[in-house]
Structure 1
């Protein structure tokens, strides 16, 4: 990133989902202002109109993006997402998880072609501040069983919608961390990271504030005593797309006004548990022969 706070070179090509509103729109506007080509994906008013809640919509989005990109993407921002809408737990999971993972798998060859592409996925601080999220549901989502996961989530009854939202964001964050360090991602120069916002005044948050649960949203603790803005998040994301982020891989950046630190002051960092020691030692043993070491 240059001193002016821009992605270093103009003329890049970037995929931005959720580009019609909120954080996605703010990112798309910043990138275009910096001289980049943006392929926006959303339901309407963008370059690629697609419904990411359906398999056909996700497939059509991948095909259209690859065609528009001409086989090369310098980066991607996966900002499309749905909030905790009651009765729509299956759609929440489809958009927030599959609308990220399937698109990224589909466009990965184009990202690899750039040699140093950056990917930023929109997570959420709900991953660490929402209680009663079934561990089994998250595991089912990661194992490719969204229908069974949703059945687990709906057992939470009145809490099903916020639990679905948190579970989908937990699953997508873990997917990103697991894949970010793999040979077909980091190994080919793709830097993938997650940004986890707290309350940002987007149309999604406005709808929550105007809903029957608005009072609960307003009572959510934010130590800095103000909400975030799409422009602030776009600033962070532009840094994560810049050369300043060349050494940033598999990280989760929390930008939430202090909520996570307030609720979980000793939640992170934590020491390596003993049960993880065998994997650590095996990984260290394998790293040189697998080429997973720095070239000093």
Structure 2
């Protein structure tokens, strides 16, 4: 049976590959990105987030089966906070009411194994509190220094992963029959990572922070397949999980410390 799935970040990388995979399986995809998709909006802005919901409602006739919040940035700038956390949350929360008419509603987002890297406690706390102004202000401070700027990305992914864990078992999601989960990819070969992987020196530097003993760096189709399953009818009981699809990075970095 064909399902209607919203995919943000659908113009490139993991989002594009996931949208194409779902379409190849017969699903209807409503793609979202800055340009070149069905819904062209800027998820760093309140206006863009509102437009996302309004346009998806219109295109879908008011009912969808799944949400995949994939759009993200990896730059050490405040906009990364706007997209990776507040844009992600606004996508999931804003579109959630449109899942009400589905027999098998599903939702998932993209975190990262970078959530295991050092983060900035003040930035994470501001995101957790839902204080976008404070979070952007803190990110502005961090972005002013090359070393601290690198904390922005991992902080957004940590805060988002924690948001998934907190919200998935609640009345809005689990009690409404909606599995809410996330994936945490390792290094995925996309246009966003290509400049970092052009030289062997660059690849070695990446491997030092993101060890991937199982098959190394992954193509975008690898996380795309997992995302497609997370919004499939088959996924009935996975709740609040952040699934590390990282070639072993989580196992190497954290070992058995999570138990």
TM-score (norm 1): 0.80
Secondary structure of the 1:243 match is coil
List runs of 5+ in structure 2 lacking aligned partners.
Answer: none
Aligned to 1:137: 123
* Higher gyration radius (CA): 1
Q: Pick from 181, 192, 207 the counterpart of residue 195 of structure 2.
A: 207
Q: CA deviation at 1:134?
A: 2.4
Count of paired positions: 254
Contact (CA 8 Å) 2:67, 2:95: kept in 1 or not?
Answer: no
Aligned to 1:58: 49
Aligned to 1:4: none
Q: CA deviation at 1:79?
A: 0.7
For 1:12 and 1:115, locate their aligned partners in 2 and report how far apart those are by CA, in whole Å. 10
Contact (CA 8 Å) 1:193, 1:250: kept in 2 or not?
Answer: yes
Secondary structure of the 2:148 match is helix
Secondary structure of the 1:126 match is helix
Aligned to 1:286: none
Secondary structure of the 2:6 match is strand
Q: Pick from 239, 244, 257 the counterpart of residue 247 of structure 2.
A: 257
Q: Pick from 97, 101, 107 the counterpart of residue 89 of structure 2.
A: 101
Residue deviations 1:216-255, cap 9 Å, x none?
Answer: 3254322225201111111111221223310111111001
Contact (CA 8 Å) 2:19, 2:31: kept in 1 or not?
Answer: yes
For 1:190 and 1:225, locate their aligned partners in 2 and report how far apart those are by CA, in whole Å. 33
For 2:53 and 2:73, locate their aligned partners in 1 and report how far apart those are by CA, in whole Å. 20
Q: CA deviation at 1:155?
A: 4.5
Aligned to 2:133: 147
Secondary structure of the 2:217 match is coil
Residue deviations 1:183-242, cap 9 Å, x none?
Answer: 12111111110100000001111134459x946325432222520111111111122122
Contact (CA 8 Å) 2:142, 2:149: kept in 1 or not?
Answer: no
4+ residue runs over 6 A deviation: none
Q: Pick from 248, 251, 271 the counterpart of residue 238 of structure 2.
A: 248
Aligned to 1:41: 32
Q: CA deviation at 1:108?
A: 1.1
TM-score (norm 2): 0.91
Contact (CA 8 Å) 1:112, 1:185: kept in 2 or not?
Answer: no
